[in-house]
Structure 1
Amino acid sequence: MKNFRNTLFIDIETASGKGDFSQLSPKMQSLWLKKAKNLPNPDQLMLEDLYFQRAALYAEFGKIICIGMGFLFNDKEKGLSLKVKTIANDNENELLAEFIRFINDTYKNKELSLVAHNGKEFDFPYLCRRMLVNSLEIPKQLQLQGKKPWEVVHQDTMELWKFGDRKAYTSLELLVEILGIGEAKSNLSGDKVNETYYQLKDLKGISDYCQEDVVLVAQLFLRYNFQKTVEPQNIQLL
C-alpha cells in the first residue's frame, strides 16, 4: 500500500450564521441583499428567504458546525484500516480551536495533505476564512500564501475526477455509486443541513452524515490510487 500516513480526509458541514434573515444586523441584511441579487434563484424566492437556503454556502454569511476527519493506517492483524472522528459544536470558535489543536498536535512540523471532495473550492478556503473571522491563527498546513501551485499538497477528489475538464461538478454521491464504492446510510443531504440544524436541532444527525462522507472520500481516494478500499469491519468510528 502507498504511504498515506500524513494524509487527512476531511469534510465540513456549514449552516447560515443566523437562523433567520431578521436576526442579522441591519448592515449585514443590506450586504446579504446586495449579494443575493446575483445568486441563482430558480424558485424566485424573496431575497430575504434565500438567506436561509443559501447563506451556509458562503463563509461571509455562514458558519461551520461540524468537521469530520479520517486517516488511514495499517493494522497488523486487520490490514488497511480507517479511523474517523467528527467534532461538532454550536460554538464555531470552540469547534475551530479544537480542530486547530488537533492539526498542530498530531502533525506538528509534518507536511500534511488534506483531501476533501470539492475541497479546493469549498472546505479548505471556508475553514481558513472562518478561522480568520474568529481571530484564530490558521495552521501552517492550511496556509497557501506564497506557495506555488505545485507546492500545494492538498487534494480534491472532485478535481481529480475532472481530468482537466473545468466545466462539470460531479457529486460525491454519484462518484461512489458509479465506482461501486458504496453509499451513505444517512437520509440527510447537504441542502437539508440548515433545516436539520435550526429547525430539528439535530446536530448529532449532521455529525453522523459528515462522518459517512469522510469515509466515502477516503474510499474514493483509494480507488483513484488503484488501492483496495477499506473493508467495513476495518472502519473505526471514534
Structure 2
Amino acid sequence: MANFFQDLQDILFLDIETASATSTWEELPLRLQDEWSRKMAQQASAEDSNPSDLYFRRAGIYAEFGKVICVGVGFFHYSTEENELVYRTKSFAEETEHDTLYAFRELLERRNWILCGHNSKEFDFPYLCRRMLINRIPLPSVLDIAGKKPWEIRHMDTMEMWKFGDYKHYTRLELLAAVFNIPTSKEGIDGSAVNEVYYQVGDLSSIRRYCIRDVEVTARLYLAYQGLPGDLEFRVLNLDEEVKDKP
C-alpha cells in the first residue's frame, strides 16, 4: 500500500469552472455574435431560439464563446516517516483569464504530472488547451498531446475509467459519488449556477470552494476505484487558506 501512495503523488486531480466570455450576448464582438447565432440555429428548438438567453445559459461550455474562471487542483503527499496521507488543494482564479491560466501553467511545468479529472478528456483538457492558445499562452508539455503516442499521454479520466468500453455511457460525478458513498460537493451552488453566481452575484469565492470540492470528490472516486473506502481519512491542506493567512 505504501508503494501505491508513493505513486499517487504524481497525479494532479483537477476541475475547471467556466463562464460565458461576456455577461451578455450583446457585449460580444459582432463577428462572434453572428457565429453564436449560426451555432445555436443548428441546435436550438423553435421555442428556445433567443440567442441572448441561450448565450447566458450555454456559452460557457464552448471554448470559443466562454472562458475559464477557476481551475481547482488537488494532489496527495504520503509521509513514510509519519505514515500519513496528506491532500493538498488549491484554486487559481485571478482577475483575468490569462493570469488564471498562466498561473496554472506554471504549476503544470513544475513536475511531470499525470492529470486526472472527471469527463476531463472530453471537456477540461481540450477546453484548457483552446483557451490557453486564445490567450497566447504556449501549451505545457502535459497538455500538448499533438503527435504523441497514446501511452505517452499522461491523462486519466474517472468517467472513462467507469465506462469499461461503453462509449455511449455518460455518468455524472455526483451519481458516482452517491454510489461510492463519497460526500457530495453540491452544497451552495452547482455547475448550472456558475454563470449567474459569477456575473450577477459576483461571488468568485463560492465558485472557488465549489470547484475544489469537486476536485476532492474526483480524487476520492479515484481512490474508491482502487478499492479504498470513499470516506478514507486523510489530512486536507487548503493552500488557498495558507496564502490568505500569511501576514
Task: Give the TM interval when normalised to the shorter protein.
Answer: over 0.9
CA distance 1:186–1:35, change in 2 (3 Å): same
Give the total of aligned pairs.
234
> Which blocks of at least 5 consecutive residues in structure 2 are unaligned?
240-247
Aligned to 2:208: 207
Query: Higher RCO, 1 or 2 (CA under 8 Å, sep at least 6)?
Result: 1
**Match of residue 57, structure 2, among 26, 42, 53:** 53
Aligned to 1:132: 133
CA distance 1:85–1:41, change in 2 (3 Å): farther
Aligned to 2:12: 8
Shifted more, 161-170 versus 43-52: the winner is 43-52
1:210-230 CA-partner distances (Å, limit 9, x unpaired): 010010000001111223556
CA distance 1:230–1:141, change in 2 (3 Å): farther
Shifted more, 122-131 versus 160-169: the winner is 160-169
**Could you tell me the TM-score, scaled by structure 2's length?**
0.89
CA distance 1:193–1:95, change in 2 (3 Å): same
CA distance 1:30–1:84, change in 2 (3 Å): same
Task: Assess if the C-alpha contact under 8 Å between 2:57 and 2:195 holds in 1.
Answer: yes
AA paired with 2:149?
K
Instruction: Give the alignment's Cα RMSD to 1 decimal.
Output: 1.7
User: Matches of 1:146 and 1:102 in 2, distance apart?
Assistant: 23
Task: Assess if the C-alpha contact under 8 Å between 2:20 and 2:60 holds in 1.
Answer: yes
1:39-74 CA-partner distances (Å, limit 9, x unpaired): 355962412210000000000000000000110111
Shifted more, 220-229 versus 30-39: the winner is 220-229
Task: Assess if the C-alpha contact under 8 Å between 2:11 and 2:114 holds in 1.
Answer: yes
AA paired with 1:73?
H
AA paired with 1:149?
P
Query: Matches of residues 1-238 of structure 1 in structure 2 within 5 Å?
Result: 1=1, 2=4, 3-39=7-43, 41=45, 44-75=48-79, 76-77=81-82, 79-104=84-109, 106-107=110-111, 110=112, 112-184=113-185, 186-229=187-230, 231=232, 234-238=235-239
- For the residue of structure 2 that corresponds to 1:15, the secondary structure is strand
User: Matches of 1:140 and 1:164 in 2, distance apart?
Assistant: 28
AA paired with 1:163?
F
Task: Assess if the C-alpha contact under 8 Å between 2:181 and 2:230 holds in 1.
Answer: no
Q: CA deviation at 1:233?
A: 5.5
CA distance 1:43–1:118, change in 2 (3 Å): farther
1:94-126 CA-partner distances (Å, limit 9, x unpaired): 11111111121x21xx3x210000000000000
**Could you tell me the TM-score, scaled by structure 1's length?**
0.93
